[in-house]
Amino acid sequence: MKHILVTGGNGQLASCIKDIENNYNSYNFIYTDYEDLDICNKTQLDSFFKAHTLAFCINCAAYTAVDKAESETEKAYLINATGAKNLAEICKDYNVTMVHVSTDFVFQGNTNQSYTENDVTKPISVYGASKLKGEQEIIKTLQNYFIIRTSWLYSEHGNNFVKTMLRLGKERDELKVVNDQIGTPTYAPDLAEVIMSFIVTKNVNYGTYHYSNDGVVSWFDFAASIFKLSKVDVKLTPIPSDHFPQDANRPKFSVLDKTKIKKELQISIKPWETSLQRCLQKLI
């Protein structure tokens, strides 16, 4: 039986991997959170990898507080860059394949074309820059890695846009949501299945891949769909980003091109509306 380490074990994506682990009986999943295993502590990592014979490490550990990262720059880089580097170095030492989750925030977002894996990265926030640095450290260190960039992650677990909208929809009669940031939502259980596809197919075409659900939408339209499908009656007003000031800049357009991953894994990707409906059925 092969052992898989999942860091960030209490987070949204790791929780979704937990939900499907029974479908993968030939693998043993070990979940750790920072209390059990601090990816910023290389000595601790070395001891852990020495004690466990691992085949894969899925790194779901990340600093994801986008706005807070602007004032907690050191902490964001420590977790997203140094932590990723530490894991890559330890994975190399113990011949473990690393699956690392990254973000659409590595792009500037000043285009109207979907971003491919080869497009120039130019983050406009500390969060995006720290995640890009983590990617670069992994690429520099390791050969057997999969970096999967994703966007607008949500699920039944943790804190996310869908759950926030459902809560605010109950609390308020009217909501304002930005309509000039364009991207694609990603249902975390779908991403969890894709990660496992790389593992179970014994894929060795290592490198960077993009994954989200299919389609293009603004945050406003995403919110409108959430309320329509959940039959919540709330007045929704579209506003430009500059009417909703935040500490961190967001890409205006960060749709990810999924051609490479579709071809590599021979998969079709669900439209975001289909996966949203599935999530809402579970939540409501």
* Active site positions, annotated: 127
Cα separations (Å) of 141 from 29, 79, 93, 280? 25, 17, 10, 40
Q: In what helix (H) or strand (E) does residue 164 lie, and over which residues does it extend?
A: helix 161-171
- Nearest in space to 151 (alpha carbons), one of 160, 142, 141: 160
∠ CA 146-61-133, rounded to 5°? 60
Question: Is 178 within 8 Å of 218 (Cβ atoms)?
Answer: yes
Buried b (16+ CB within 10 A) or exposed e, 223-250: bbbbbeebeeebebebeeeeeeeeebbb
Residues in the chain: 284
Cα separations (Å) of 264 from 83, 91, 99, 193, 208? 28, 23, 15, 14, 12
